[in-house]
Amino acid sequence: MTSVYLNPVKAQNLDNYFCGNKYLVTLILFVCNKEESRYNITIAMEIKPSPKFDTINGLLDGGFILAKRPYHDSLWKPAGQAISAHKMIDDGDHLAIGVSGGKDSLTLLYVLNEMRKFSPVKFHLHAITVDMGYGISLEPIRDFCWEIGVSWSQVHTKIAPIVFDYRKEPNPCSLCSKMRNGALHIAAKQMGCSKIALAHSLDDAIETFFLSLFYERRIKLMQPVRYLSRRKVTVIRPLIYVREKTIRNFSESFQLPVVKNPCPEDGKTQRQEMKELVSDLEKRFPGVRDRLLTAFQKSDPDLLWKIP
């Protein structure tokens, strides 16, 4: 069953938040099409006026005006550089952000929301949380979005029961992430967003590199920008130059409302093995993460072997 409830709009200026009338039209279309949806989707939206933020002296860097504030060199600057170098955001874009409630996605939400206040490139944000069906409260995410003035939607799914109880998947991550991404892409498109921002960090990119090497016998990189032709959406990864350690420290010092991942596989995955491997490598070869980042950017594909 699909249920939609829309609370009274309290915002004084809708343009500050999401797509304004376009969003409401999209929402109505979405409700009309609900029977065709594969997912049980609930949209809960209440828009509150944005709280006042301190005036910040910005500096122009990487195409964006970034604030001189803590984490400038480790977070704001590399995020701005990634967005600029890979042309992630265009004027007028409507960006959906996948917000799981983890430290990474909350940090991305905070960063993009701050950037849009100072950026000469104007874009809109909408947070989407895919409820995996664990039965945990997502209210801290909703409240945080309201607090910073970003509209929020949740997509109810039964992904966790399907993966763990019904299918009893021995390697659940593959099916789980496919279903979660599918739900996110559908919801983003329904809401008129042509781009989806994901919170993958440099560490995620490095772990993906080693996962593909060790488990798939190929060299494959997580892309900063990727157009998904089947879905007709573009995935962007603004934190792809940022270290996970920075994100962890940032989310703690800004007291972001991190929701603990209830997944029974959390911390036991092949990705976790790669995380530990990279951590060991960093101890033996300090700076290896930065060198891998440079290698990802500058390696010549022609130097790979070719089978004639």
Binding site for ligand SF4 (CB under 6 A): 172-173, 176-177, 263, 265-266, 269
- For ligand SF4, the closer of residues 43 and 176 by Cβ is 176
For residue 285, the minimal CB distance to ligand SF4 (Å) is 28
> Which 3 state secondary structure label does DSSP give 200?
coil
CA dist., res. 5 & res. 133, Å (int): 19
- For ligand SF4, the closer of residues 172 and 224 by Cβ is 172
The DSSP H or E segment spanning 59 is strand 58-61
- For ligand SF4, the closer of residues 61 and 273 by Cβ is 273
Which residue in 108, 87, 118 sits closest to 251, CA to CA?
108
Q: Which residue has the tokens 């596989």?
A: 265
| Sign of the C-alpha dihedral computed for residues 296, 297, 303 and 305 taken in this order | positive
User: CB of 201 within 8 A of CB of 242?
Assistant: yes
- For ligand SF4, the closer of residues 38 and 268 by Cβ is 268
- For ligand SF4, the closer of residues 50 and 107 by Cβ is 107
For residue 274, the minimal CB distance to ligand SF4 (Å) is 13
For residue 134, the minimal CB distance to ligand SF4 (Å) is 9
What are the CA-CA distances from residue 156 to residues 50, 118, 120, 288 (Å)? Answer: 26, 34, 35, 40
For residue 113, the minimal CB distance to ligand SF4 (Å) is 25
For residue 268, the minimal CB distance to ligand SF4 (Å) is 8
Q: DSSP string of 158-197? A: -HHIIIIIIS--SSHHHHHHHHHHHHHHHHHHHTT-SEEE
For residue 181, the minimal CB distance to ligand SF4 (Å) is 10
CA dist., res. 224 & res. 201, Å (int): 10
- For ligand SF4, the closer of residues 88 and 106 by Cβ is 106
